[in-house]
Amino acid sequence: MMNLIYTYQPLFDYFLLAVGFAYSQQMVLRAGVFSIGSAGFACIGAYAVGILVKNQGVHPLLALLLAVVIGCVGGFLLSIPLARLRGVFQAIATLAFVQIVVSLCLYFDDLTGGPQGFNNIPKLVQTWHLLLAVAVTIYFMYVISRSSIGRAFDALRQDETVGATLGISIRKYHMIAFVLSGALAGFFGGMQSLYTYSIEPEMFGFAFLVAALTYIILGGRGTVTGPIIGAAIMSVLPELARPLADNRQFFQGALMMVMVAFMPHGVFDGLVLYLRKRRAAARDKTFKEGGHGSTGS
């Protein structure tokens, strides 16, 4: 039994980190912002925390707090130029942002270790830390989701113009989405840094971006549970697909194409929408059969 736990614990840990990054990606997508820049903030957070804790001896909690602050400020700053763009242009702009961050990490190699990576970071984060972090994150995600912020995000995602005419300030709420996304990515980037002993810029490049996006595609972007499902699928899949060995990437690619074609809302959101339709149809049926209020007889 213990052996089983030991074998799968790293998988579980990476799953937890994935959930954190998935929420970061979800925040912006939920508000209708086509940003894929979480990777950039994760990179900044990871290096900031790694450097501060290892080189400067800063207390990890303080370093993580700083990562959150950097993520917030960075998200806010990024939201300003991106307010003028929409759709694929936002995507390309945030992609450029990620590339800039990665390139700068490679360039300032005195500080970051360059392409060789930043190594020997003390492993201060254990599974239970990650579990706690994710639990707290889920709490915040849930609370925000049920609040007016969550509703505003949903409205803007579905029809920006309608949202605006109902009093939702697009600039303000997009900015909030960016700030939250940056904060989450920065924080979990820092957590990753304190978990994996070493980090390198390429960890936060194109592959990271694709992974974060995939969690949301698979799980869904409108609910709190969706990203967890998406991250879970992506974490478990490589294990299940072990017999497929070298074909794993092919499988992942095929899965993405199939999901997008048949379940564009993701597994969980798709389920929620389906159940909603079923219930509505059932209610229609009973209404028609029951007749319009049998008051007298």
Partner 1 sequence: MIAQQLVNGLVTGSVYSLFALGFTLIFGTFKILNLAHAGVFMSGAFIGYFAVLNGLPLWLALVLAMIGAGLVSYIVELTAFATIRGSGQIEFTALISSIGANLCLMSVAQRLSNTKVLRFPFETFPVAFYELGPVRFSFLQIIILLVVVVLLAVMMLYLYKTTFGRQIRAVSGNERVASLLGVNPALVYFQTFFISGALAGVAGILIGLSFNSIHFYMGEPYLLKAFVVVVLGGLGSVHGAVVAGMLLGIFQNLAVAYLPSALTDTIIYGLLFVVLLVKPSGLFGSEGVQVGVARR
Partner 2 sequence: MAALVLNNVSKRFGGLLAVSDVNLEVPPGRITGLIGPNGAGKTTVVNMITGLLKLTTGNILLGDRDITTAEAHEVAYAGVSRTFQNIRLLPEATVLENVVIGFHVHVKSSLFAQLLGLPSSLRESPKLFERGWQLLERFGMTRFADHPAGSLAYGHQRRVEMMRAVATDPQILLLDEPVAGMNDVEAAELGTVFNELAASGIGLLLIEHNIRFVNQLCQKVYVLDSGAMIAQGTPQEVMHNPAVIAAYLGGKK
Residue 118: phi and psi, rounded to 5, are: -105, 120
Query: Which residue carries 């242009």 as its tokens?
Result: 89
Quick check: helix, strand or coil at residue 266? Answer: coil
Minimum CB distance to partner 1 smaller for 9 or for 158:
158
45: closest CA among 181, 179, 192? Answer: 192
Residue 254 binding result from partner 2, partner 1, none, given CB thresholds of 5 to 8 Å by partner type: partner 1
d(CA 106, CA 122): 22
Question: Residues in the site for partner 1, rule: CB under 8 A?
Answer: 34, 81, 83-89, 91-93, 95-97, 99-100, 103-104, 106-107, 114, 160-161, 164, 170, 206, 210, 213-214, 217, 246-250, 252-257, 260-261, 264
Kindly identify the residues of this chain, within the stretch 202-231, that bind partner 2 according to CB under 8 A: 222
Q: Which residues pair with 199 in a beta bridge?
A: 118
Residue 140 binding result from partner 1, partner 2, none, given CB thresholds of 5 to 8 Å by partner type: partner 2
d(CA 19, CA 227): 6
Q: Does 126 bind partner 2 (CB under 8 A)?
A: no
Kindly identify the residues of this chain, within the stretch 268-297, that bind partner 2 according to CB under 8 A: 273, 276-277, 279-280, 283, 287
- Give min distance, CB of 107 to partner 1, in A: 4
- Site size for partner 2 (CB under 8 A): 36
Residue 203 binding result from partner 1, partner 2, none, given CB thresholds of 5 to 8 Å by partner type: none
Number of neighbours of residue 124 by Cβ within 10 angstroms: 17
Among 14, 140, 197, 206, binds partner 2 (CB under 8 A): 140
**Torsional sign, CA 65, 70, 73, 76:** negative
CA dist 97 → 86, 91, 153, 176 (Å)? 15, 10, 23, 18
- What residues line the site for partner 2 (CB under 8 A)? 139-140, 142-144, 146-149, 151-152, 154-155, 158-159, 161-170, 176, 180, 222, 265, 273, 276-277, 279-280, 283, 287
